[in-house]
Amino acid sequence: MQFADLDLNKAYTYADYFKWQFEERVELIKGKIFKMSPAPSNLHQQICSDLHGFLWSFLRGKPCKVYSAPFDVRLPLKSTDDKDVFTVLQPDVCVVCDKSKLDKRGCIGAPDIVIEVLSPGNNSKEIISKFEVYEQAGVKEYWVVSPQNQTLVVNTLNAGKYYPSRQMAKGDIVTSAILPGFSLNLAELFDYEVQEE
């Protein structure tokens, strides 16, 4: 099967997703296919690598673990059976503290922290849809990083709803309620000149 053979109006499940062998990378959000950007920019990859590195250094020897894309995060609504899972995402970086959510194919259930680094190819529908599914699935913290604006917002789950932090930038220190003692100086993360696309 080729990507072109898929009916983009149909709802698909993880059982379908797991069988696909085409080259294009996709995510499923509530059964709908979202094609991922062909290859992220070097700036996007640098930020993802740096975030992974900062978190990996902090978490070394601790129960929580950090993962980077490609890494399937399946967000079931009811059953964890492949045919009943309609949302499969590949967050740029995520932290999982509950080992029972990990299996050989990735994570089944909400990671504790999800970090998405925006690309020029991200559309508003995708961004809104991810916010909604992460909130509904119970991801405790959803960080959104804008490389172009050099900003980071932490959405914190409280009573089933996300509450965003103020928009943080160089000079700010990011902390996490999930990871007591962790701090990230945004001057280190955004240590580059913004280039025009």
Task: Count Cβ atoms below 10 Å from residue 57 Cβ, excluding itself.
Answer: 10
Please determine, for residue 117, whether its predicted confidence score (pLDDT) is greater than 80.
yes
Asked if residue 144 lies in contact with residue 113, where contact means CB atoms within 8 angstroms, the answer is no
Q: Which pLDDT value is given to residue 5?
A: 84
Whole-structure pTM value? 0.91
pLDDT tens-digit profile of 162-195? 999 999 999 999 999 999 999 999 999 999 887 6
> What's the CATH code of the domain at 147?
3.90.1570.10
User: Could you tell me if residue 67 is inside a domain?
Assistant: yes
Q: Is 162 within a domain?
A: yes
Number of domains in the chain: 1
Task: Give the C-alpha separation, 15 to 20, whole Å.
Answer: 9
Reading the block at residue 132, the tokens are 């909604």
Contact 73/106 with Cβ under 8 angstroms? yes
pLDDT-derived band at 132, boundaries 50, 70, 90: very high
Length of the chain: 197
Structural domain contains residue 96: yes
pLDDT digits (tens, 9 = 90+) for 98-111: 999 999 999 999 99
Hey, what amino acid is at 177? A
Strand 113-117 vs strand 141-146: parallel, antiparallel, or unpaired? parallel
Instruction: Name the pairing type of β-strands 106-108 and 73-74.
Output: parallel
Mean pLDDT for the chain overall = 92
Within a domain: 4: no
Phi, psi of 92 (to 5 degrees): -60, -45
pLDDT in tens, 10-30: 999 999 998 888 788 888 999
In a domain, 175, yes or no: yes
User: By percentage, how much of the chain surpasses pLDDT 90?
Assistant: 74
What b/e readout covers 11-23, taking b as 16+ CB neighbours within 10 angstroms? ebbbebbeebeee
Question: Using 50, 70 and 90 to split pLDDT, how confident is the model at 196?
Answer: low
Q: What angle do CA 134, 180, 172 make, to 5 degrees?
A: 80
User: Is 60 exceeded by the pLDDT of residue 33?
Assistant: yes
